[in-house]
Amino acid sequence: MARPISSFDRSIVLVGLMGAGKSTVGRRLARRLKMPFVDSDHEIETAASRSIAEIFEQYGEESFRDGERRVIARLIEGPPKVIATGGGAFMNERTRRLILSRCIAVWLDAEPEILAERVSRRDTRPLLRDKEALPFLRDLAEIRNPIYAEAHIHIRTLPSPHDRAVADILKALSALRSAA
């Protein structure tokens, strides 16, 4: 008898560029799977008692990435959950190896035009400070997408409801489980 889709022995980690929907999709996916949800950026802000933007400004990106890696490692150590990561988390080799070896990595992939429209709704992205979103995101996608492609599951997100991405992830998780 097949195990129900809601029973996983490892965390599901969402990766992808800013604006891909990792937090929103992650919350909905966690509800469907009856698993806890955590947003690593929120956990970092809580641990540091500052916003991501303040951490970047005061300590720089390298220090932020080190703290991010430690927080993600701590989150992975606990019981299985759905984890939304910041866009750059998977770029850190140590973080990426940890996620790929101990979790199911899901890449939420969206066109830069969609991402630019989504991120323009909030002014909280340190990497976008004083930059035009679309050209920056195109360049970032060119650099990061080959790394995101290492994820176990690749989900193309469209300008459609996030529930469509959740359904696509559930289908891919079911196929992954069947292949195991």
- Compute φ and ψ for 91, nearest 5 degrees: -75, -25
Residues of each annotated binding site for substrate: 41, 65, 87, 144
Token pair 């806890």 is found at 36
Kindly state the DSSP code that residue 126 receives in the 8-state scheme: G
How many C-beta atoms surround the C-beta of residue 37 within 10 A? 18
Annotated binding residues for ATP, as ranges? 19-24, 125
* Binding residue numbers: 19-24, 41, 65, 87, 125, 144
- Rounded to 10 degrees, the C-alpha dihedral 171/85/100/75 comes to -110
**CB of 69 closer than 8 Å to CB of 75:** no
Longest dimension (CA), the chain: 55
Structure tokens at 48: 């540091």
How does DSSP classify residue 4? P
Q: Which of 145, 174, 162, 153 is nearest to 26 (CA)?
A: 162
Annotated binding residues for Mg(2+): 23
